[in-house]
Structure 1
């Protein structure tokens, strides 16, 4: 098994002066030989080129070159200029599970201009707009995952064969019997400065959640990509499969990616918080306007936070835990986990996102939608503490609460019809996203499933 790096000081903090020289010393100290220059495609898939460590300067100046036409969703052709990932030294990160390697991210450039279909650029553009207003968007993303293996028949099952409880949430054996994976994950995250504060076995067999501190939106999205790399590689080194699939089966709780949000000013004050809020939720007028923007654009937003066919097997009506905790109701409320927006107090939690979402696009879309609510002075609907799962269709209509799209096609229709996102994130980006996802939807419908064969083989 690959040995982890020590949890001793392995954290790169980019200095204001002599940054390149200091970076080389840092890499030399940790015996780094190669740097993975990384970016993500429209799906959020991590793409890389390995460069010898002596090429660090060129990565930060001319960048690493890629054929853009080979990248999903980048809408480039063979005759287009090269896509260049120009590295940002602040993103330099060791790969603790792979001694001798580090990774780095940055700005995707085409023809000397930040490429508008690069998802990280899209989020960077949104955070830059906030910075002009003296604001920063802080997010805490909560990744859930399955730790799996294939049995002797090739069936995908929990990695821990004793993980068979009907209600395994928070089961102590789920922690202790998977301690090897969880400890190595903790070491990998801690090694690069991510402060883990909670680890638990989730509601499904083989499902876990590991939470680490919030950060500025762009850094949080980078951190999630690092988390996914770490989880997959640590699992692979153990002979396991780590999956962020939104829904493994019809009876399995899905993998969410909840997003906790707050907006802070230049003095680090959380401007979503107001202790005098008469509702007791600790929200400011600005926070309610932000929520109103999220509610206003919720159907279209779903396409970007739940971007796979499989996502909508998670977004189903039913009692929490049987089969899903995922909310399908366009509403918000004080600590209400049956609503798409939950208020833990003084901040906002958006609960619809899942493990398949591209964190850069999803966060950019949330910022855009929420800030639209602020810019237009939208008024949030009434908050509800009721369990929406218990209500009839008539009762939901009486509360003026509707449901999220039922499948990817409906979500794409909503995104296509809500032209706000074309203006906010870029018409070419949204068009490319919709085209890519329409193709996915079509391919899905061409597949004959086991359910269909079992149902109809001798039925007619």
Structure 2
């Protein structure tokens, strides 16, 4: 259990926030004022994992001009062979951020370039391309991403357990003691984010033992993805310092709920107005016709979309039909939407949309790029999502679900990847080379898993026959 006397570290909200509209000279001054010695030049690989080089601050300007070179063949998903040109990360000055848990360090996200051109398989570039499609219409996608995670410890026998050994309730959601006894970790992560000007508005104990969620204010989709990457870095390193493991694995334990990463979204016009909102909505959900078409796109492309929102073998231990020890999985597999309906893949908080399929293992750049592509297809083709389904899908039998003509999301990575591979929309919008690379890597992942002989199989079959 985390003890408060292990930690005397405190930050003032906004204390280390990066000034807006920086130029190179003021950025250098900002770094000097904060005694920065190294700048991490970063990008996200195809899995959404932060990749970095540490650059001495004296060479910070080089990050913004020439960029930082990486051997593309050493990173998953770049489609760059060892004999091909360097993958260059050219720093985006607007992303310059201090790293409060590592004094003396800052980080800057970059644009992935090859031969002087944006690399089409760089996941941040893929999201930027989809955001540009919105920008052509005068629109911006605003998202609030909700990361769930597990705070765990590794036991001597190699198994895992909640880091707080007293966190053992059958139904622990919102439990005060479970929240309080992890407060050292939770406060430190929260205050790290707050010190950078990221507005954290609530923290809670989730539905599984050792599971938590920290929510911060919405932003444009690119900023949201950058912040999720920063949050994961902070959570992992602070947990490590405290002797814990912060896991974003979608389903760490079969009997409990998994770690979701729900995406709340709306589209703002050039004036900042939420064009998903319409108070005259006859369904009482505050949605505009454009929002309904957007939902139609999400539902139409749900099966292929799932491959990018739930991108691992383990994801499909979370996306199942059934119950857990606490009563429900909270992971909707039903291709439907409804008013505040947490059993459907799309929930409607008044005037906006929540996509609940994604898990904490997703790449937030790819997930949001696919969200835009599917939603815009719904808008352009005026796809009808049908009537809202304000029912508890968990309470229905398979026959009742089938009678309502409700589809089920893929139940394995293999099934989802096949749907993605066949998607003309995602090949066209996200790029055929990217889809081929992602599908290839994920087929290898599925094959490795499928050929692995698990403990379950040994226990069941060793002496069975």
Give me the TM-score of the superposition, normalised by structure 2.
Answer: 0.97
Aligned counterpart, 1:437:
442
Which runs of 5 or more residues in structure 2 are unaligned? 1-5
Q: Give yes or no for contact 1:141–1:259 (8 Å, CA) kept in 2.
A: yes
- Maintained 8 Å contact 2:10/2:188: no
- Deviation (angstroms), 1:3: 7.2
1:98 & 1:398 partners in 2: Cα distance?
A: 56
For residues 325-377 of structure 1, the C-alpha deviation after alignment (integer angstroms, 9 at most, x for no partner) is 10000000000000000001100000000011000000000000000000111
Deviates more, 1:138-147 or 1:52-61: 52-61
Deviation at 1:390, TM superposition (A): 1.4
Work out the CA distance in 1 between the residues paired with 2:396 and 2:189: 41
Q: Take 1:182 and 1:284, find their aligned partners in 2: how far apart are those partners?
A: 38
Match of 1:10 in 2: 16
Query: Would you say how many aligned residue pairs link Structure 1 and Structure 2?
Result: 458
- Tell me, yes or no, if structure 1 residue 247 matches structure 2 residue 257: no
**Structure-2 residue corresponding to 1:226:** 230
Q: Displaced runs of 4+ in structure 1, greater than 3 A?
A: 1-6, 319-323
Distance 1:3 1:21 in 2: 34
Q: Report what 1:57 is aligned to.
A: 61
- CA deviation string 1:125-169 (max 9, x = no partner): 111111111000000000000000112333211000111111111
Aligned equivalent of 1:200, options 204, 218, 238: 204
Question: Displacement of 1:322 after TM fit?
Answer: 3.6
Contact map agreement 1:4 1:188 (CA 8 A) in 2: no
Equivalent in the alignment of 2:3: none
1:38 match: secondary structure? strand
Instruction: Report the CA distance between 1:296 and its aligned residue.
Output: 0.4
Equivalent residues of 2:143, 2:265 under 8 A apart = yes
Give the RMSD, CA atoms, in angstroms. Answer: 1.2
Give the SS at the match of 1:380: coil
Name the counterpart of 2:141: 137
User: Structure 2 CA distance, aligned partners of 1:228 and 1:98?
Assistant: 14
> Which residue, 258, 263, 267 being the options, matches 1:263?
267
Task: Give the superposition deviation at 1:5.
Answer: 6.8
Give, in angstroms, the shift of residue 309 of structure 1.
0.1
Which of 119-128 and 149-158 deviates more?
Answer: 149-158
Distance 2:210 2:437 in 1: 35
The CA distance in 1 between the partners of 2:193 and 2:15, in whole Å, is 12
Q: Which whole-Å CA distance do the structure 2 matches of 1:442 and 1:297 have between them? A: 25
Q: Equivalents in 2 of 1:79, 1:248: separation in Å? A: 39
Task: Tell me if structure 2 keeps the 8 A contact 1:169–1:204.
Answer: yes
CA distance in structure 1 between the aligned counterparts of 2:334 and 2:434, rounded to whole angstroms: 27
Task: Assess if the C-alpha contact under 8 Å between 1:250 and 1:323 holds in 2.
Answer: no
- Tell me whether 298-307 or 410-419 shows the greater mean CA deviation: 410-419
Task: Mark the runs of 5 or more structure 1 residues left unpaired by the alignment.
Answer: none
Q: Is 2:172 aligned against 1:181? A: no
Say whether the 8 Å CA contact 1:4–1:96 is kept in structure 2. no
TM-superposed CA distance for 1:2, in Å, is: 8.5
- What is the distance in 2 between the residues matched to 1:11 and 1:334? 37
Once the two structures are superposed, the pairs formed by residues 324-343 of structure 1 within 5 Å of their partners are 324-343=329-348
Tell me if 1:89 matches 2:96. Answer: no
In structure 2, C-alpha distance between the alignment counterparts of 1:202 and 1:113, rounded to whole Å: 43
Does the 8 Å contact 1:2/1:237 carry over to 2?
no
**Counterpart Cα distance in 1 of 2:193 and 2:96:** 14
- 1:364 paired to 2:369: yes
- Tell me if structure 1 keeps the 8 A contact 2:7–2:184: no
Q: Is the 8 A contact 1:199 1:211 kept in 2?
A: yes
State the Cα deviation string for residues 360-416 of structure 1 (Å, max 9, x = none). 000000000000000111112111101111112232222221100010000011111
Contact 1:13–1:90 (Cα < 8 Å) also in 2: no
Equivalence for 2:395 = 390
CA-to-aligned-CA distance 1:41-84 (integer Å, 9 cap, x gap): 11111100000112111100110000111110111111211100
TM-score by length of 1: 0.98
Q: For 1:437 and 1:186, how far apart are their aligned partners in 2?
A: 34
